[in-house]
Amino acid sequence: MRDWHKKVHPLRVAFQFVVITLCRYLPSLKLKNFLYRCLGMKVGRNVSMGIMAMVDIFFPQFVSIGANSVIGYNSTLLAHEFLVEEFRVGSIEIGANVLIGANTTVLPGVKIGDGAKIGAGSLVNKDIPPGALAYGVPAKVR
């Protein structure tokens, strides 16, 4: 983790951090989605990002959210992982009409299919098929 500045320029991270932190508190969904798009995120129409939802500050451009999806309060979308021996980066693809409950964490490399529902407090570390209901730590399709 000490060498994070070799992965992404520190000024870029600082700018993204400021924008993402602002978005965490903004009540206006239109303005929030516009700012996320300015960072390179793919955000569909009518996406609702809950207050305090956190997007990856290093690689927001690797996050894609389909139309009419809801990301719950205080959820986290991580496109990178610092591990003891390695560093991983992966895109997050959230389909259309997806519901992600409050306090959920989505890890890098995960694809959540259209119409899926993720229960509050879940850890999504594997792909979730379209239309599925998944919850738990780690999230399992029920």
Global confidence as pTM: 0.93
Q: CA–CA separation, 67 vs 59, rounded Å?
A: 21
**At 1, is the pLDDT very low, low, confident or very high (cuts 50, 70, 90)?**
low
Domain CATH number, residue 37: 2.160.10.10
pLDDT digits (tens, 9 = 90+) for 126-138: 999 999 999 999 9
Q: Please report where in the chains the tokens 């919850």 appear, as a residue.
A: 135
For residue 31, the model assigns a pLDDT of 97
Q: What is the pLDDT of residues 82-119, one digit of tens each?
A: 877 878 899 999 999 999 999 999 999 999 999 999 99
Three-state DSSP class for residue 42: strand
4 alpha-carbon distance from chain centroid: 20
Q: Which amino acid is at 28?
A: S
Instruction: Please report, rounded to a whole number, the percentage of residues in the chain having pLDDT higher than 70.
Output: 99
Q: How many domains does the chain have?
A: 1
Digit-coded pLDDT (tens) for 49-69: 999 999 999 999 999 999 999
Residue with tokens 């990301």: 71
For residue 111, the enclosing domain spans 4-141
E strand residue ranges, the chain: 42-43, 48-49, 54-55, 63-65, 70-71, 76-77, 80-82, 87-89, 92-94, 99-100, 105-106, 111-112, 117-118, 123-124, 133-135, 140-141
Residue 2 has pLDDT above 80, yes or no: no
User: Prior bond to 138 cis, omega within 30?
Assistant: yes
Residues 8-59 have pLDDT tens digits of 888 999 999 999 999 999 999 999 999 999 999 999 999 999 999 999 999 9
